[in-house]
């Protein structure tokens, strides 16, 4: 065990209050993180450190403090970060319990900075909303009303308000003028709970859209609690807009960004900041993933603007960092930037982007450290072994959600952070095949797995993707779980089979966030 320095509550609090850079990382899996954590403790699980660190912590000497609940993961995470080249790494002394004992506020759920900010916005601006019953009456009476769902498309597709159209948050100011060209058309903005509908509604109001705009109070949760039916499997999406509409939307969004004191940047600034050693800078492209993949600026990561505002700490865990947003239309960068500025981020929008500048194509690839050397085996050989040799077992290190969607028949689900316990539940055999999506997860887990067994340990070449591409079948469902599915906190607003009591408890929790923010006192949030 390496000797690593420790830090305390006063150190973290001082960094936050002085707006200095700090990566305060809760290295537990997402579910324990969501049970209770400090406001700006970003979740970066021990299992994924090698996969995520370089993309989320671009500056090697940023002050990093790892946090756990006393189970020892913070020490392990610190050691792994130092092995990756990070130089200013400490462990939070005493874990979550010590934070609480020092008088620190603890928050439930995920994406809490954004959710508490959303509640603050509603409390200051009295963002208008309608109840589920009122919205249903409007729809049933064929009133002149357009319902827009501001979540990710996959969330909308799972369950949506009848007649609702998918318009992810940052697209609203650009798309609404053509979805509701008549200023007398009422606009209803919904998400699953509260935050994204509050921010979406207030975005349209801030941008001066002439229509009456209301949030659907409490989103799909409120709709369900009112005993009303949701649609499933819908695919209505926004469409392209004219140049005139785009130009007007750009002016509106720029005006809001200017009021929020968003800073401006040029490509020359980007070049300088990419090479700057004394500051962490994140570069995000806030358009749709499809537009990003068709062509984007080198070094920019695809993070659609609405999700960026909702899940900032998931992609930018260094509080106090600089954030640069890019969207040639301006709208999808300026509107999210206006919110990030109010959430006390040092945020810039990149101006004067030309089509020729968008020289990179394809999805964003996370920067990775050098992969460890492992013994691999091809999918055909694995398929043959699994059919003919009872002494071969496959172990899958994917997320639980991906494992349930499809895994190699007969394989076991295991969490890397729980490996010592998991291996006791997996059958003892002479040969283990490790696999995952992405395949790098199993590559990084291989050495740890080998330490715990005398059996042969091999990694499936190309992981689950290679298995599928080779035409082999997958098995679905939550069978053979060697680890509890701690890597995903079950959100009370997700899916279609949530207990009404859990939904109501979630709403009650959200209503209490403004008071908790006041007690915490480290956020610097303000409202336009």
What is the β-pairing status of strands 22-26 and 318-319?
antiparallel
501 falls in which pLDDT band (50, 70, 90)? confident
Cα atoms found within 13 Å of the Cα of residue 109, Cβ hemisphere only: 23
Percent share of the chain, pLDDT over 90: 93
- Token pair of 227, please? 């005993």
Convert the pLDDT of each residue in 45-93 to its tens digit: 999 999 999 999 999 999 999 999 999 999 999 999 999 999 999 999 9
Domain co-membership, 103 together with 126: no
Percent share of the chain, pLDDT over 70: 98
pLDDT at 509 over 90: no
Domain co-membership, 146 together with 212: yes
What pLDDT, on the 0 to 100 scale, is given for residue 497? 64
Q: Confirm whether 65 is domain-assigned.
A: yes
Domain co-membership, 228 together with 270: no
Q: Which helix (H) or strand (E) holds 460?
A: strand 456-460
Convert the pLDDT of each residue in 396-409 to its tens digit: 999 999 999 999 99
495 falls in which pLDDT band (50, 70, 90)? low
494 falls in which pLDDT band (50, 70, 90)? low
Q: Confirm whether 204 is domain-assigned.
A: yes
Domain boundary among 423, 440, 469: 469
Distance CA 395, CA 80 (A): 23
Q: Confirm whether 478 is domain-assigned.
A: no
Convert the pLDDT of each residue in 137-169 to its tens digit: 999 999 999 999 999 999 999 999 999 999 999
With beta carbons less than 8 A apart as the criterion, state whether 37 and 6 touch.
Answer: no
What pLDDT, on the 0 to 100 scale, is given for residue 498? 63
Q: Confirm whether 241 is domain-assigned.
A: no
Domain that holds residue 454: 376-469
Q: Which of 47-51, 231-235, 413-417, 506-510 has the lowest mean pLDDT?
A: 506-510
DSSP state of 70: S
Q: Confirm whether 281 is domain-assigned.
A: yes
* Count: domains in the chain: 4
With beta carbons less than 8 A apart as the criterion, state whether 53 and 510 touch.
Answer: no
278 falls in which pLDDT band (50, 70, 90)? confident
Q: Which helix (H) or strand (E) holds 340?
A: helix 331-342
Domain co-membership, 288 together with 343: yes
442 falls in which pLDDT band (50, 70, 90)? very high
Quote the crossing angle between the two packed helices 500-511 and 112-125, to the nearest 10°.
70
Domain co-membership, 315 together with 393: no
Domain boundary among 235, 267, 299: 235
Convert the pLDDT of each residue in 1-28 to its tens digit: 778 999 999 999 999 999 999 999 999 9
Domain co-membership, 332 together with 430: no
Domain boundary among 357, 384, 417: 357
Q: Residue holding tokens 């019953």?
A: 133
Q: Confirm whether 475 is domain-assigned.
A: no
Domain co-membership, 142 together with 227: yes
337 falls in which pLDDT band (50, 70, 90)? very high
Convert the pLDDT of each residue in 166-214 to its tens digit: 999 999 999 999 999 999 999 999 999 899 999 999 999 999 999 999 9
Domain co-membership, 380 together with 349: no
Convert the pLDDT of each residue in 383-398 to its tens digit: 999 999 999 999 999 9
With beta carbons less than 8 A apart as the criterion, state whether 330 and 306 touch.
Answer: no
Q: Confirm whether 509 is domain-assigned.
A: no
Mean pLDDT of the chain: 95
Domain co-membership, 128 together with 99: no
Domain co-membership, 231 together with 128: yes
What pLDDT, on the 0 to 100 scale, is given for residue 508? 79
Mean per-residue pLDDT for 461-487? 96
Domain co-membership, 51 together with 136: no
CATH classification of the domain holding 294: 3.40.250.10
Q: Confirm whether 185 is domain-assigned.
A: yes
3-class secondary structure, 184: coil
Domain co-membership, 290 together with 349: yes
Convert the pLDDT of each residue in 110-135 to its tens digit: 999 999 999 999 999 999 999 999 99
pLDDT at 438 over 60: yes
pLDDT at 367 over 90: yes
């Amino acid at each position: 065990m390496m000797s690593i320095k420790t830090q305390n509550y006063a150190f973290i609090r001082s960094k936050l209050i002085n707006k200095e850079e700090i990566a305060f990382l809760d290295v537990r899996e997402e579910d324990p993180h969501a049970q209770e954590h400090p406001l700006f403790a970003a979740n970066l699980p021990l299992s994924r450190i090698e996969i995520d660190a370089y993309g989320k912590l671009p500056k090697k000497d940023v002050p990093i403090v790892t946090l756990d609940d006393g189970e020892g993961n913070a020490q392990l995470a610190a050691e792994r970060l130092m092995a990756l080249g990070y130089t200013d790494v400490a462990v939070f002394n005493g874990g979550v319990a010590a934070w609480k004992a020092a008088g620190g506020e603890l928050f439930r759920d995920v994406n809490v900075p954004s959710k508490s900010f959303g509640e603050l916005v509603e409390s200051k601006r009295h963002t208008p909303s309608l109840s589920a019953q009122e919205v249903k009456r409007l729809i049933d009476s064929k009133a002149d009303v357009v319902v827009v769902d501001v979540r990710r498309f996959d969330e909308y597709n799972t369950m949506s308000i009848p007649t609702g159209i998918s318009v992810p948050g940052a697209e609203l100011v650009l798309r609404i003028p053509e979805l509701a060209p008549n200023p007398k058309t009422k606009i209803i903005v919904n998400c699953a709970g509260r935050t994204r509908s509050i921010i979406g509604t207030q975005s349209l109001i801030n941008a001066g859209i002439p229509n009456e705009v209301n949030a659907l109070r409490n989103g799909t949760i409120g709709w369900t609690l009112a005993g009303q039916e949701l649609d499933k499997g819908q695919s209505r999406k926004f469409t392209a807009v004219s140049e005139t509409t785009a130009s007007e939307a750009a002016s509106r969004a720029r005006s809001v960004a200017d009021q929020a004191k968003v800073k401006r940047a040029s490509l020359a600034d980007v070049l300088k900041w990419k090479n700057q050693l004394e500051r962490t800078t994140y570069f995000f492209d806030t358009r749709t993933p499809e537009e990003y993949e068709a062509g984007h600026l080198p070094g920019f990561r695809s993070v659609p603007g609405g999700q960026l505002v909702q899940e900032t700490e998931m992609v930018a865990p260094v509080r106090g960092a600089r954030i640069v947003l890019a969207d040639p239309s301006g709208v999808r960068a300026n509107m999210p930037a206006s919110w990030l500025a109010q959430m006390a981020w040092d945020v810039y929008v990149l101006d004067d982007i030309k089509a020729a500048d968008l020289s990179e194509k394809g999805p964003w690839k996370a920067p990775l450290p050098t992969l460890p050397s492992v013994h691999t085996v091809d999918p055909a050989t694995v398929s043959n072994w699994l059919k003919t040799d009872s002494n071969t077992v496959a172990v899958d290190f994917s997320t639980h959600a991906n494992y349930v969607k499809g895994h190699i028949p007969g394989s076991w689900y295991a969490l890397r952070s729980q490996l010592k316990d998991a291996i006791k539940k997996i059958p003892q055999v002479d040969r283990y095949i490790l696999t995952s999506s992405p395949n790098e997860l199993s590559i990084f887990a291989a050495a740890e797995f080998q330490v715990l067994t005398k059996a042969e340990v091999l990694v499936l070449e190309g992981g689950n993707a290679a298995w599928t591409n080779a035409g082999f079948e997958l098995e679905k469902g939550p069978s053979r779980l060697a680890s509890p599915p701690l890597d995903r906190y079950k959100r009370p607003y997700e899916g279609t089979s949530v207990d009404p009591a859990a939904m109501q408890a979630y709403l009650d929790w959200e209503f209490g966030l403004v008071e908790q923010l006041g007690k915490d006192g480290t956020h610097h949030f303000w409202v336009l």
